[in-house]
Amino acid sequence: MRKVLLGAVLGSMIVAVACSGAEDGSTFTRDGDEGGLTEPPGSFGPGEDGGEEEGGVGDGGIDCDANPGLCSEAAVCGDGKPGLGESCDDNNTKDGDGCSSKCQIEAPYWACAFGSACVDVRDCDALVDAGLANGDAGCVAPPKPAVCGDGLIDPGEACDDGNQNPGDGCALDCSAIEANFACPTPGALCVTTMVCGDGFVTGSEQCDDGNKVGGDGCSATCAREAGWVCPVPGVSCNAAACGDGLVAGAEECDDKNTANGDGCSSTCKLETTTATVAPTTTTPGKTTITHWKCPTPGQACEKTTCGDGVREGTEQCDDGNKKALDGCSPDCEWEPSCPNGKCASRCGDGLLFDFDADGDGNIDEECDDGNTRNGDGCSSTCKKEPGYDCTAVVASDPAFIDVPVVLRDFRFPVAANGPDGHPDFEFYACNVVTTNLVESTLTNRRPVFRYDGTGNNPETGTDQNGRCGAAANAPDRSKQLTSAASFAEWYTDGGRARRVDDTMLRLTRTGTAGDYSYVFSSKTDEPYKTRSGFFPLDGKGWGNEGTGSGGSHNFAFTTELRFWFTYDNTKSPELAFSGDDDVWVFVNGRLALDLGGLHGEQAGSFILNPAKAASLGLTNGHVYEIALFHAERHTEDSNFKLTLRGFVKKRSVCSNVCGDGIKTREEQCDEGNANTNSGAYGSCRLDCKLGPYCGDKVTTNPPEMCDDGTNLTSWAPSASSTACAPGCKKPTYCGDGIIQGAFGEQCDNGTAMNTGAYGMCNPDCKPGPRCGDGVVQGGDGEQCDNGFNLTDYVKHPTATDCAPSCKRPRSCGDGVVDFPFEHCDNGPANTSNGAYNSCTTECVLGPRCGDGIVQAAAGEQCDDGNRVNGDGCSAACLKEVGGPK
């Protein structure tokens, strides 16, 4: 079959018609004058520029075999061949694959080559040849505009991590990789190139102390924490200042002042305050210990409630009561644990046990500074902390010492008192010292009435012990007490004993320095001097019973007194007592002084010389308890005088060791032997204070550019002459020409260019007017702007359709034939009335010569479906002479 391409250009309209030919190979001629018909301008006649001879050789026409994409026969949608009215044909009639069931391109972002599947040209990398005459010329439609946040690296994007979050490594508009980040994988989160915890301050790090632990001044993300300064990378931070209301460094508290006595000291250490009450004629002297808690930095500290059972603040203990000698004092201080005299270590009680007290072969405590707080040189387990040295010291000689005392009240055995009367009180036999009434050792920390071990019982008078008369089988009246059971009540709570008062006995310093003694005397110390004797329970307990010493007094009570000391064999400590009625003193649970009873004022003493210490089982340097048991049982007088000399307590004082290379919380630095007073920048002085350093509020240039003391301004809204960034460098700022996405910048053209002009950046580093902001900037040439601007072509645009350049999209009716979407486009001349040789409002050819339909009204005499001369129907649809009838 002879094929000829017939094409005519009618105005701006492209007309594509089917090829045809005579089956018999006959030749037709055109009668140019018959019927007065004329061919449309630009039509082709045989032998002119449109014919093709047999064998495919023409006389200037186009070879249809060589150009199948420009020729077609009948349009059959789905055959993969170009056809009249088709803008695509992908070998099927399915919708949704780019080429519709009517062979029309479904959206402007589809590129459709005839005979092949359509390609979504929004991904230009996946584009295949779309059938352009010049081959692989690129995308048929423009590439999809860059969309930041889609996880794809589009033209103009430096990164795309799948979001538009500033400060995560990829700038808000994907135009730049932010400082100190790398973005190796599109669609994946960027990764920081900073290494927090490596001891080097890099990038946006404000500090780096060599770890990733927060709460030490430099957070887990290397941000400086409030109240701290971190002048030297790689070492621990320090408190900025005591009194700023922020707890930092070696501070234990900070109540926003530097006053002492309010719970937080002038050096920001927790305080335990004492208040001394001087004795009066009515009340004894007393020292009250107040513990504090400082729960909220920057606010006033609060006194704790000792005795509520909740240990808090500086309390060493809180057992829920205010009793003495039960392990926790009435002031919530630890009392040494000394079962029957020999003491065991209790970390935090302030008594140093730097020896093996429990016999396990290890020193019990390396230190004991009187608390269980870490970071002060002595840990919560009484171990020395690195960088500190702890020295054992003896407490200085105070003006007085207060010794804890428990007083229990009893009643006389008279009929009026009934069963409450105790038979051992006002049970007077004779006024001589009767010893050996008690065993030589304590049991359960209490003295025990003595049996001689041979069956003789002092209660029956068959033994000299327990009575003052020399004759055997003396009458009961000669015995000093009634029974072992009654004696067991003397120093035990409950029963006929009423625990009335837990108080302190104040011993005042006398003598000369180096040889002080501490003395209490009821004859000279108030209020006992005024009371004419040792009557601590007058008006208390069961009330006064008996008269003597010038008046009515409470004559029936016992006294239990304990205190603790570290035995020092170079001191020869001495204890002396004088008084009445019964007194026993035990050291290390062993009887050291026996004044017996029942008697008037008697005196006795002992010195802990080597022989005496050995008899009591004392070891040099160990801690022991002295327990004094006293009873006032008879009316007339009550005297009590206690003297202590040379008894000491050893505790720890810890301090940092400057120069050991270990930086403690009190030190700004410690470089060991490298400490120097050279004054070099960043050096550590011999006192472990820093030389010139970043953070000292002095700009040392070089290397510093600035120093405001805190240096925390990593970014500023504009250039600043005063702000300073970590490392004592000038901060980045809006206007430095670098997009700082971490600080909310979306653009930065530099201060001079951040003018807010079209396509430029505003002074606040936010984008100015631009294509894509959703606002039509007509003065800057924009025709439209819907914020997305993805529509390059649409047949019938709406008011909101817009192309990527903020111009109106290509469309049917713009007077430009947009292949392959349109067959024709006469612009405003497009018509919907079916006019002959017109272009429809769908940009499809209207009725015409060659469409196979004789349009007689338009002058057609024939229409054989082509516009080929010589086949009987001319290219102008006129009958040819000699043609078929």
- Read off the pLDDT of residues 410-438 as tens digits, 9 standing for 90 and up: 999 888 888 899 988 987 656 667 788 88
The helix/strand/coil state of 236 is coil
pLDDT at 44 over 50: no
817 within domain boundaries: no
Residue 754 included in any domain:
no
Q: Are 497 and 506 a contacting pair, CB within 8 Å?
A: no
Angstrom CA distances, 41 to 9, 63, 156, 636, stand at: 8, 22, 49, 154
486: nearest Cα among 409, 425, 405: 425
In a domain, 15, yes or no: yes
Residue 194's pLDDT is: 84
Provide the pLDDT for residue 39: 34
Whole-angstrom distance, CA of residue 626 vs CA of residue 770? 91
Per-residue confidence (pLDDT) for residue 793, from 0 to 100: 86
User: What pLDDT score was predicted for residue 59?
Assistant: 33
Q: Is the pLDDT of residue 346 over 70?
A: yes
- Do the Cβ atoms of 564 and 625 come closer than 8 Å? yes
pLDDT given for residue 524 in this prediction: 97
Q: How many CB atoms lie within 10 A of CB 603?
A: 12
pLDDT at site 145 = 59
Mean pLDDT in residue range 164-182: 84
617: in domain: yes
Mean pLDDT, residues 854-870 taken together = 91
Residue 677 domain-assigned (yes or no)? no
Average pLDDT over every residue of 485-506: 92
Query: In this predicted structure, which of 21-30, 210-219, 385-394, 600-609 has the lowest mean pLDDT?
Result: 21-30
* pLDDT above 90: percentage of residues in the chain: 51
**Better-scored residue on pLDDT, 639 or 178:** 639
What local confidence, expressed as pLDDT, does residue 206 receive?
Answer: 86
Whole-number pLDDT of residue 54: 36
Which of the residue ranges 168-172, 216-220, 236-240, 744-748 has the most confident prediction, judged by mean pLDDT?
216-220
Mean pLDDT of 151-173: 85
The pLDDT confidence band at residue 252, using thresholds 50, 70 and 90, is: very high
Residue 119 identity = V
Listed in sequence order, the residues at least 6 apart from 217 whose beta carbon sits closer than 8 Å to its beta carbon are 207, 209, 224, 225, 228, 229, 230, 236, 237, 238, 248, 249
Q: What's residue 460's pLDDT?
A: 47
CA distances from residue 381 to 93, 109, 366 in whole angstroms, order as listed: 85, 74, 9
Looking at residue 85, what is its pLDDT?
67
**Residue 152 in this model has a pLDDT that exceeds 80:** yes
Please state the domain count of the chain.
2
311: burial class by Cβ within 10 Å (0-12, 13-18, 19+)?
middle
- pLDDT at position 122: 52
Question: Which pLDDT score is estimated for 17?
Answer: 31
CB-CB contact of 110 with 118 (8 Å)? yes
The tokens for 519 are 């003395």
Mean pLDDT of 481-490: 86
Least confidently predicted of 43-47, 113-117, 290-294, 347-351: 43-47
Q: Does the pLDDT at position 485 exceed 80?
A: yes
> How large is the average pLDDT for residues 14-40?
33
3-class DSSP state of 594: strand
Nearest partner of 434 among 560, 583, 578, judged by Cα: 583
Mean pLDDT confidence for 665-691: 91
Rounded distance between C-alpha atoms, residue 258 and residue 269, angstroms: 10
Amino acid at site 413: P
Tens-place pLDDT, residues 753-806: 999 999 999 999 999 999 988 999 999 999 999 888 878 888 898 888 899 899
pLDDT band for position 670 (cuts 50, 70, 90): very high
Backbone CA torsion sign across 103, 108, 113, 119? negative
| 458-469 per-position pLDDT tens digit | 444 444 444 454
Contact 388, 655 (CB under 8 A): yes
Local confidence band at 119 (pLDDT 50, 70, 90 cut-offs):
confident
Lowest mean pLDDT among 71-75, 137-141, 402-406, 573-577: 137-141
Q: Which has the closest alpha carbon to 652: 391, 848, 413?
A: 391
Q: Which residue has the higher pLDDT, 530 or 27?
A: 530
Q: What is the mean pLDDT of residues 672-679?
A: 91
Across 70-84, 414-428, 558-572, least confident range: 70-84
Last residue of a domain, one of 630, 648, 666: 648
Domain-terminating residue out of 648, 675, 695: 648
Task: Compare 151 and 628 and report the one with higher pLDDT.
Answer: 628
Exposure string over 438-474, b if 16+ CB within 10 A, otherwise e: beeebeebbbebbbeeeeeebbebbbbbbbbbeeeeb
| Comparison of pLDDT for 72 and 489, the residue scoring more | 489
At residue 230 the predicted structure's pLDDT band, cuts being 50, 70 and 90, is confident
Q: How confident is the model at residue 144 (pLDDT cuts 50, 70, 90)?
A: low
Residue 451 has pLDDT above 80, yes or no: no
Q: Residue 574 class from Cβ within 10 Å (0-12 exposed, 13-18 middle, 19+ buried)?
A: middle
Please provide the average confidence, as pLDDT, over all residues in the chain: 82
Domain limits at 621?
Answer: 402-648
Q: Find the mean pLDDT for residues 727-749.
A: 88
Domain final residue, candidates 648, 676, 697: 648
Residue 164 lies in a domain: no
Domain contains 521: yes
Mean pLDDT on 521-549: 92
Q: For residue 606, is it within any domain?
A: yes
SS3 18: strand
